[in-house]
């Protein structure tokens, strides 16, 4: 059954808004972009002109007052995500918020409470859940075709120079909420968690190696899962040869993906264990090659709205990933092992990802480009 054509608006017309508008144009039979908003009105107007959007506003309040909307895409810096999502929920409008959905677990819980009494929902952009081989892997794992999951590795080794952190909202706990854990590796370990299911415990470290940020620029974690698997996770923005790589070793096969900012089926491989060549049949079975990215997630969002369901990635799903982020920081900064769900509302790590402050808070920032 064909669904409705949804009325959408984009809030925050900077870098990532382009991925949203392009994805929406590619799905023009399912949605129209009726308006954009940005605190920088001239930026909003330039964006509207370039992408053929009829209305531009300087904020969410006027946007919500003036337009009947089905979906608002929140593409602002992270510190504005929760407040703006709450405004949309109060107006009964569904939100698709860029990652990270909030700065903290406390803000996640505020969204959960607001969603409960709103006609709208909140979905988070974690686009790497939505490529076809990620679905294939989850399907084969759920059908026990791969045997037990034993060990996994998840690496986000990226490179961001000092200029990248010149944007005032980047690299601070107050506006970005964290470093590569919160802002970069979150894409990969969200995919890891979507494949391996509930995580149990994390032991981590976070360090500031080279960038003049308030936040970490490298973090590493060891994680155990309810299903018995164990995994290592590395998140870095100081790694000149960049890669985003996940590897899952099941009893019957190794499944790997190696990409940078998006994958398609050719980036994945499956290597059967000796005597288990039969698993290849499931892996190579015919199916559309859908690249991970905003178009794939948006299509899934509209499918859910057509069915009258909460669109993916739901708040409950995103909260599991944010709980992992908070636990990683809590473990790194306290030196303790942290369990899933352990960070309750009274923990300092519930309201700020750095808790009472990163250990390097009072120390000098790393010196870059020494004379």
Question: Toward ligand NAD, which CB reaches closer, 38 or 216?
Answer: 38
Nearest to 196 by CA among 236, 262, 234, 148: 148
Q: Does 37 contact ligand NAD by CB under 6 A?
A: yes
| SS3 state at 239 | strand
Give the integer Cα–Cα distance in Å for 175 and 177. Answer: 6
SS3 string, 113-176, reads HHHHCCCCCEEECCHHHCCHHHHHHHHHHHCCCCCCEEEEEEEEEEECCHHHHHCCCCCCCCCC
Q: Does 38 contact ligand NAD by CB under 6 A?
A: yes
Q: Does 76 contact ligand NAD by CB under 6 A?
A: yes
Report the alpha-carbon angle 311-312-314, nearest 5: 90
Q: Does 77 contact ligand NAD by CB under 6 A?
A: yes
Residue from the set 89, 123, 125, 193 that interacts with ligand NAD by CB under 6 A = 125
Q: Does 40 contact ligand NAD by CB under 6 A?
A: yes
Sheet containing strand 218-225, strands side by side: 268-272, 253-259, 238-250, 149-159, 230-236, 218-225, 199-207, 338-339
Q: Does 14 contact ligand NAD by CB under 6 A?
A: yes
Q: Does 317 contact ligand NAD by CB under 6 A?
A: no
Quote the least distance from Cβ 83 to ligand NAD, whole Å: 8
Near ligand NAD in 84-123, by CB under 6 A: 98-99
Pairing mode of beta strands 71-74, 149-159: unpaired
Instruction: Work out the number of other CB atoms within 10 angstroms of the CB of residue 268.
Output: 20
Give the integer Cα–Cα distance in Å for 275 and 153. Answer: 24
Question: Toward ligand NAD, which CB reaches closer, 87 or 115?
Answer: 87
Residue from the set 3, 7, 16, 22 that interacts with ligand NAD by CB under 6 A = 16
Residue from the set 25, 26, 32, 59 that interacts with ligand NAD by CB under 6 A = 59
Residue from the set 3, 25, 39, 282 that interacts with ligand NAD by CB under 6 A = 39
Give the integer Cα–Cα distance in Å for 213 and 236. Answer: 13
Instruction: Work out the number of other CB atoms within 10 angstroms of the CB of residue 15.
Output: 9
Q: Does 69 contact ligand NAD by CB under 6 A?
A: no
Binding window for ligand NAD (CB under 6 A); candidates: 25-33, 69-77, 154-162, 193-201: 69-77
Quote the least distance from Cβ 12 to ligand NAD, whole Å: 3
Binding window for ligand NAD (CB under 6 A); candidates: 6-14, 197-205, 223-231, 349-357: 6-14
Give the integer Cα–Cα distance in Å for 36 and 43. Answer: 10
Residue from the set 149, 179, 183, 311 that interacts with ligand NAD by CB under 6 A = 183
Give the integer Cα–Cα distance in Å for 313 and 319. Answer: 10
Q: Does 179 contact ligand NAD by CB under 6 A?
A: no
Residue from the set 25, 43, 138, 200 that interacts with ligand NAD by CB under 6 A = 43
Q: Tell me which residues touch ligand NAD (CB under 6 A).
A: 11-17, 37-40, 43, 59-60, 75-78, 80, 98-99, 125, 127, 167, 183
């Amino acid at each position: 059954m064909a669904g409705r054509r949804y009325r959408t608006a984009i809030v925050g017309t900077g870098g990532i808004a382009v991925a949203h508008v392009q994805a929406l144009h590619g799905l023009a039979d399912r949605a129209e972009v009726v308006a954009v908003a940005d605190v920088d009105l001239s930026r909003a107007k330039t964006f509207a002109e370039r992408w053929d959007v009829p209305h531009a506003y300087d904020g969410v309040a006027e946007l919500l007052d003036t337009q009947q909307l089905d979906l608002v895409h929140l593409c602002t810096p992270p510190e504005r995500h929760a407040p703006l999502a709450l405004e949309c929920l109060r107006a009964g409008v569904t939100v698709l918020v860029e990652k990270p959905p909030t700065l903290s677990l406390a803000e996640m819980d505020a969204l959960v409470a607001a969603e409960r009494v709103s006609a709208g929902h909140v979905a988070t952009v974690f686009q790497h859940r939505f490529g076809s081989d990620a679905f294939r892997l989850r399907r084969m794992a759920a059908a026990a075709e791969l045997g037990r999951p034993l060990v996994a590795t998840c690496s986000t080794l990226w490179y961001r120079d000092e200029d990248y952190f010149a944007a005032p909202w980047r690299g601070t706990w107050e506006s970005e909420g964290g470093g590569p854990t919160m802002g970069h590796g979150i894409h990969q370990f969200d995919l890891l968690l979507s494949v391996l299911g509930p995580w149990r415990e994390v032991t981590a470290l976070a360090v500031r190696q080279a960038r003049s940020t308030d936040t970490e620029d490298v973090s590493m974690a060891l994680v155990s899962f309810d299903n018995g698997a164990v995994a290592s996770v590395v998140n870095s923005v100081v790694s000149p040869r960049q890669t985003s790589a996940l590897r899952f070793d099941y009893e019957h096969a190794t499944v790997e993906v190696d990409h940078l900012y998006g994958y398609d089926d050719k980036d994945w491989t499956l290597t059967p264990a000796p005597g288990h060549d039969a698993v290849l049949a499931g892996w190579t079975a015919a199916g559309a090659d859908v690249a991970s990215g905003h178009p794939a997630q948006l299509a899934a969002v509209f499918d859910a709205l057509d069915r009258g369901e909460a669109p993916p990635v739901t708040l409950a799903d995103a909260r599991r990933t944010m709980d992992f982020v908070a636990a990683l920081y809590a473990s790194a900064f306290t030196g303790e092992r942290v369990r899933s769900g352990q960070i309750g509302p009274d923990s300092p790590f519930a309201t700020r990802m750095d808790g009472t402050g990163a250990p390097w808070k009072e120390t000098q920032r790393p010196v870059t480009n020494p004379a």
